[in-house]
Structure 1
Amino acid sequence: MIQEAMVNAFVEGAVELDEETSALIARRKRLLGPAYRLMYERPLHFTRGEGVWLYDSEGNAYLDAYNNVTSIGHCHPKVVRAIREQVGTLATNTRYLHGAVLDYAERLLATMPPEIGHLMFTCTGSDANDLAVRIAQSYTGGKGIIVTETAYHGITQAVSEFSPSLGPNVDLGVHVRTVPAPDSYRSADVAGEFTAAVEAAIRDLKRHGIKPALFICDGIFASDGVFDGPPGLIRGAVAAIRATGGVYIADEVQSGFGRTGEAMWGFQRHGVVPDIVTMGKPMGNGYPVAGVAARPEVLEEFGRKSRYFNTFGGNAVAVAAASAVLDAIEDEGLLANAVEVGAYLKAEFRALAAEYPVIGDIRGAGLFLGVEIVSDPVAKTPDAMTATRIINGLRDENVLISGCARAANVLKIRPPLVFSRKDAAEMIAKLALVLSRLA
């Protein structure tokens, strides 16, 4: 995502690197081509992971407060064991009957509102959002898509057209309209202003002869700068898209599977029931498995007209990994842990803000937090340069975070759900050290 690249990216020649790192970068460029990006001014070479820790080639430990892929911790033993056992027994797909995929679907759907009745399997979040749009457009007969202005929803051709965070060189579709994310409104009626923006986007689509099909957002507005918002924040926007015949897609790739703490899904914090829910990264804790859950009536038209099959989506090994993730979330009380440790982090960030005026708003829920970095604490003027220095300063102190938001000035903190209070205290201590140096 372009905003994360702006605050994290390695820029060749900007810093002096050791011989081994330089050689790896040169080899990577020669073999993988120019499109890949590396994080941090001084890239990292990891060889092992365990829990909340990543270890480099020299055995140095880095506290991972960012990686949402392995959301229940690196190399979680439940997931490792499930994959190992299943891959040695059977690895086949959904064109054959297999009880485990049905058991998992039943179990996952039970975590959602009863209106959501079907589950389809894909391999990635991009894959899931691509399928979700096909379903939505089949159901509504429309093409128009409404997203927030710095949203990220994936990398397929169709999905990149409504992922503005990919940057100005990746064109949005003519059927796509963007609206400012809720953190853009600093008024008492954030929900009302957000609803009005979505309504305006609907009118603009219609004015150009495009029938609205869907409004899609993630439950924490992750790429827009992380925003938890007031209760019922998106209800008006969801009502607006439904009033015009469209549907609401909840993208839970980043905010789902307990990430926001109190609820399993980000949309539950907003008091709405989606028409379609998409899932990805955390579903298999690093194993490629993703999905689309939907109201049966929304999926009916697509299912009647289209035959869906995904070679690897819902394969037996993927389902074993995904089931182990649910086991870990339930058995280890990870939702409660996200609430407790997330609240502790927020309190500590506020304490730091009282000492360092470079910290503006502190936002988020559970273990998905955003810390705004500003040059003026009153005007809340975005300060991307200082955010970059903090992110790279933490990297040099062996703590990994990232950045996001349109102005690239929000620290994006998204540790594994197994992150403890002790881990959080270490991160806060390192952040205080970096801030003291900058001050």
Structure 2
Amino acid sequence: MLNAFDPGSAKLDQRTAALVDRRAAALGPAYRLFYETPLHIVRGKGARLFDADGRSYLDAYNNVAGVGHCHPHVVEAMARQAAILATHTRYLHEAPLAYAERLLATLPPELDHFMFTCTGSEANDLAVRIARAATGRQGVIVTENAYHGVTLATSGFSPALGLGAELAPWVRRVPAPVPGDGGGAFLDAVEAATQDLDKAGCGVSMMIVDSIFSTDGVLPDPGGGLLRQAADIVRNAGGMFVADEVQSGFCRTGDAFWGFQRHGVVPDMVSMGKGMGNGYPVAGLAVSRDPAAAFGNKVRYFNTFGGNPVAASVAGAVLEVLEQESLQDNARTVGRAFRDALSALSRRHDAVGEVRSAGLFLGVDIAVGPAQSKTAHWIVNSMRDRGVLLSTAGADGATLKIRPPLVFSMADVADFVAALEQTLLS
């Protein structure tokens, strides 16, 4: 795992070492921690996190708390509904219906149903089930270093999980589109993948794409119309096109509410999570009427906690904050200033390569010879020591991955860039 704590090599203080040992004993070996020296975070506010010693960290990575850590409007909605009713989803209730109606209004009219889950992994798992029911096919196409979840099905098409996560035999990978190359290689690979799945007797049920290609190295602008053309290829082969908006949705890209809208494509399904509940576990899948019927008329679906009254109330409060505080505009304006400041930094420092961004989702290539991933890892940990949190992306971990809460300010940009320049000069 990129940017992971290695318990065998770190020198920890007594309190941190004790917590690490307790965590390993209670949770087992599958869990991972960030940074060479793990953080013990106890509080959050806005774009800041605070550790057990009271030290402040500028959070430039956490896209879960999209409207800012512990936003008072979201916290109040959570507490208010939890004090009235917190139960499963087998009763009629106003909150999930009101939320589904409001959310669907942000999406293309072709997407007219919404199905609640608790996590993005569950949403993508549900997308596979619906695609297979609607198409009668099995195969799934993803990009080379994609991440779409941790269930049995979704881990089978999430190569970013690493060598220990075996891809399913019905999965085909295609290279992520490289900005500026015209997209021909990407489209040819999608076509070849559909044909290979046909030859294998699977057929293609769906292609699923994170429209900012975050784990492939943050590639937000592969070329106009490219995803629409890929969707056409998949549909012509009998499959469906799914936009995984878990990372790029909810105003993250600045130019649009949903990341796929920047590419002029209308998906057959849209999955979402993370920022949807600002830290509360709520997620879901928007789907068009015919696939929903092909699935729902055959299979009984329910989710005990997905879309419960508390989850729906929290998610509704997030939509209100996004609108009332104009956070899409903030993502666009601050994101552009952030990109410009990092581009200016790249002209002063050879270690900083290309800067790519859409709103408040940025990728910065590290451009120092064959040791790029080691340099990126060093930068991330040095920034952590300076009180700024970020991570890496791409199969080789040579791209800095920056995706702060949408309340990130111009002052926060200045703090980030100053810390990065100090790191590069050290």
Normalising by structure 2, we get a TM-score of 0.98
Work out the CA distance in 1 between the residues paired with 2:409 and 2:360: 11
CA distance in 1, matches of 2:225, 2:352: 27
Does 2:104 align with 1:109?
A: yes
Could you tell me which amino acid in structure 1 is paired with residue 218 of structure 2? V
Is 1:420 aligned to 2:409, yes or no?
A: yes
Match of 2:173, SS state, is strand
Q: Which residue of 2 aligns with 1:280?
A: 273
Give runs of aligned pairs for residues 312-391 of structure 1, distance below 5 A: 312-376=305-369, 383-391=372-380
Residue number in structure 1 paired with 2:192: 200
Matched AA of 2:121: S
Quick check: 1:235 aligned with 2:228?
A: yes
Q: CA deviation at 1:150?
A: 0.5
Q: Tell me the percent identity.
A: 55
Question: 1:416 and 1:103 mapped to 2: Cα distance?
Answer: 25
Instruction: Give the counterpart letter for 2:79 in structure 1.
Output: R
For each residue in 1:237-286, what CA deviation from the matched residue of structure 2 results, as whole angstroms up to 9, or x when unmatched?
11100001100010000000011111110100110000000011111101
What are the equivalent positions in structure 2 for 1:118-267 lying under 5 Å apart? 118-183=113-178, 187-189=180-182, 191-229=183-221, 230-267=223-260
Query: Distance in 2 between the 1:65 and 1:423 partners?
Result: 9
How much has 1:92 moved relative to structure 2? Answer: 2.6
CA distance in 1, matches of 2:7, 2:138: 41
C-alpha distance in structure 1 between counterparts of 2:316 and 2:229, whole Å = 35
Shift of 1:187: 4.9
Q: Point out where structure 1 has 5 or more consecutive residues left out of the alignment.
A: none
Cα deviations by residue, 1:51-88 (Å, 9 ceiling, x for unpaired): 11110001000000001111111101111000000000
* Aligned partner of 1:305 among 298, 305, 309: 298
CA distance in structure 2 between the aligned counterparts of 1:192 and 1:298, rounded to whole angstroms: 30
Find the residue that maps to 2:111 and give its secondary structure.
Answer: coil
How far apart, CA to CA, are the structure 2 residues paired with 1:344 and 1:167?
34
**CA RMSD across the alignment:** 1.1
1:88 matched to which residue of 2?
83
CA drift at 1:428: 0.6
Letter in 1 for 2:113: H
- Aligned with 2:208: secondary structure? strand
**Count of residue pairs brought into register by the alignment:** 425
Amino acid at match of 2:314: A
Q: Does 1:14 align with 2:9?
A: yes
Query: How high is the TM-score relative to the length of structure 1?
Result: 0.95
Query: Is the partner of 1:305 in helix, strand or coil?
Result: coil
Distance in 1 between the 2:27 and 2:103 partners? 37
Offset of 1:94 from its aligned partner?
Answer: 2.8
For residues 56-75 of structure 1, what are the structure 2 equivalents within 5 Å? Answer: 56-75=51-70
**1:14 is paired with a residue of what secondary structure?**
coil
Amino acid at match of 2:208: I
Distance 1:63 1:243 in 2: 47
Moved more, 127-136 or 9-18: 9-18
> Does the aligned pair in 2 maintain the 1:281–1:288 contact within 8 Å?
yes
Give the stretch that moved more between structures: 396-405 or 226-235.
226-235
Structure 1: how far apart are the matches of 2:163 and 2:65? 30
CA displacement at 1:188 relative to structure 2 = 3.4
